Amino acid sequence: MSKLSLPHRRISAGDHMRLQALARSLAEQSHPLAAVFAGELDLAELRDPDDMRQDTVSLDRFVTYRIMGSEGSERRLLIHPEDQMWPPAEVSVATPLGITLLGLSAGDRMPVVGTGLPEPPWVEVLAIGSAASGGLARRPTFFPASPSRAPGLSLADNQR
């Protein structure tokens, strides 16, 4: 499969803002995947959250995938690294596999990006599960300015 025939990524505009902030943070830390991650975000097609297909891999959704050539499949929750709660059941979007899965749809196949391998393994998206809900609580990445909140303090500091 050539680069031209790789699947298109679709990312929710709301997730895109949060993911761009993550890409900037990774770049500030000289993370080896920062440029790869930022590049993939730049190539993605942005969608209104209401226009996102249900079979698209996005943050806080379960994805069932198979690394090509392996016997079995895996089912994991795609997460922002700040949202880590149960590592055995999650894959961070700041990993080569997470970057690759983000924005793909069921049936898409793509080489795992950011591995540095001359022949990276391919991953196939088998199914997309429902969005995680209930106990999942994201950590906010920013707060809107408000007169009742002192600048430079966290929400918890202001509530004391």
**Residue at 154 is within a domain:** no
Q: Smallest Cα–Cα separation from 77: which of 141, 68, 86, 69?
A: 86
**Residue at 159 is within a domain:** no
**Residue at 122 is within a domain:** yes
* 132 confidence band (pLDDT: 50, 70, 90): low
Give 54-81 pLDDT, tens digit per residue.
Answer: 899 999 999 999 999 888 999 999 999 9
The answer to whether 74 and 64 have CB atoms below 8 angstroms apart is yes
**Residue at 149 is within a domain:** no
For residue 55, what is the domain's CATH number? Answer: 3.10.50.30
Query: How far is residue 120's CA from residue 101's CA, in Å, rounded to a whole number?
Result: 14
Q: What is the mean pLDDT of residues 41-56?
A: 91
Q: What percent of the chain has pLDDT over 70?
A: 79
* 50 confidence band (pLDDT: 50, 70, 90): confident
> Angle 13-28/34-43 helices, nearest 10 degrees?
160
For the chain, the distance separating the N- and C-terminal CA atoms, rounded to the nearest angstrom, is: 57
Structural domain of residue 68, as residue ranges?
Answer: 3-132
Give 78-130 pLDDT, tens digit per residue.
Answer: 999 999 888 889 999 999 999 999 999 999 999 999 998 999 999 999 999 97
**Residue at 82 is within a domain:** yes
- Chain length of the chain: 160
- At 133 the pLDDT is 58
Instruction: Specify the number of domains making up the chain.
Output: 1
User: What is residue 28's three-state secondary structure?
Assistant: helix
**Residue at 37 is within a domain:** yes
**Residue at 145 is within a domain:** no
